[in-house]
Amino acid sequence: MGARGAPKIEDYNGPKKPAAGAYFMWCAENREAVMAVVRKKCEAEGKSFNITDVGRTLAERYRVECTDEQKKVFDEKSTVLKKEFAEKLAAWKETEQYAEFEKAKKVFDKKSSGKKDKKELKEAGQPNKPATGYFLFLNEHRAEVTEKLRKEHGTAFKIGMVAGASAQKWKALTEQDKIPYEKKAAEEKLKYAEQMATFKETDAYKAIEAKQEKAKKTPRARKVKDTPAGETATTTEPGVEAEA
């Protein structure tokens, strides 16, 4: 379960989503063969392989090669698979793994929402948070510490060493030596508080705050969909192929 991004039901022992509809089932059966053909063509023409060419080729071949009878068979098979998936999904929702999945999804959604809110506030002019005394010290001595470590370690030098060495250097300071940095940090903190007070009076901040409050009061109902992500609910031929 160490995969990055949104948690997937398959990572929590959930049922795998089946391909739905004639088109997607046909693509699932023919993707490997079409991919091999596209790769060979790209090599022959001296072009770089592009996965979007596979989707485009699948769409074109589906329109020409898949007969109405075959589409009917795929649709019937799809209906059976969707029913089986729905039953497995219902059973999975009664398990502890599903509860873990829901918990992980809520955490992910909260983090994603928080990042979006921070970006929006930043773009609206929110002032940067002030540095602590330690970080003021770190910024002042970063170049010096980095140069020293590069000389000591040569090709074995890693940028991560700078933070560790700087922390040791900070700890070695006396309380008296730290006063100038702590004093500057206190001044920056006061300045930040004044800037934030001004920022919170702006129309941009008030609009973002109102939107956040509205979102809190109207939680969205969430459920695990029974169709693959990005798939349109159709069993007919594709119009414009986005992704196979």
pTM value is: 0.44
Do both 75 and 150 map to the same domain? no
Show which of 49, 75, 93 is a domain's final residue: 93
Position 168 in a domain: yes
Does residue 151 surpass a pLDDT of 90? Answer: yes
Position 56 in a domain: yes
- Whole-number mean pLDDT of the chain? 83
Do both 145 and 192 map to the same domain? yes
Q: Domain tally for the chain?
A: 2
Q: To which residue do tokens 């700890």 refer?
A: 171
Position 237 in a domain: no
pLDDT score recorded for residue 183: 95
The span from the CA of 167 to the CA of 181, in Å, is: 14
Position 243 in a domain: no
Confidence band, pLDDT 50/70/90 cuts, at residue 4: low
Position 2 in a domain: no
Do both 75 and 132 map to the same domain? no
Structural domain of 171: 127-201
Stretch among 74-88, 126-140, 155-169, 223-237 having the lowest mean pLDDT: 223-237
Cα 81 to chain centroid, rounded: 29
Q: To which residue do tokens 């049922």 refer?
A: 15
Q: CB under 8 Å to 167, separation ≥6 — which residues?
A: 134
Q: To which residue do tokens 């006063």 refer?
A: 179
Long-range CB contacts for residues 64-73, cutoff 8 Å, separation at least 24: 66/22, 66/23, 66/26, 70/22, 70/26, 71/22, 71/26, 71/235, 72/22
- CATH at residue 184: 1.10.30.10
Position 179 in a domain: yes
Position 229 in a domain: no
Long-range CB contacts for residues 196-200, cutoff 8 Å, separation at least 24: 196/126, 196/127, 199/124, 199/125, 199/126, 199/127
Do both 14 and 86 map to the same domain? yes
Show which of 47, 69, 93 is a domain's final residue: 93
Question: pLDDT tens digits, residue range 195-231?
Answer: 989 988 998 888 888 887 887 776 555 444 443 333 4
Position 114 in a domain: no
Does residue 176 surpass a pLDDT of 90? Answer: yes
Q: CB under 8 Å to 9, separation ≥6 — which residues?
A: 15, 17, 92, 101, 224
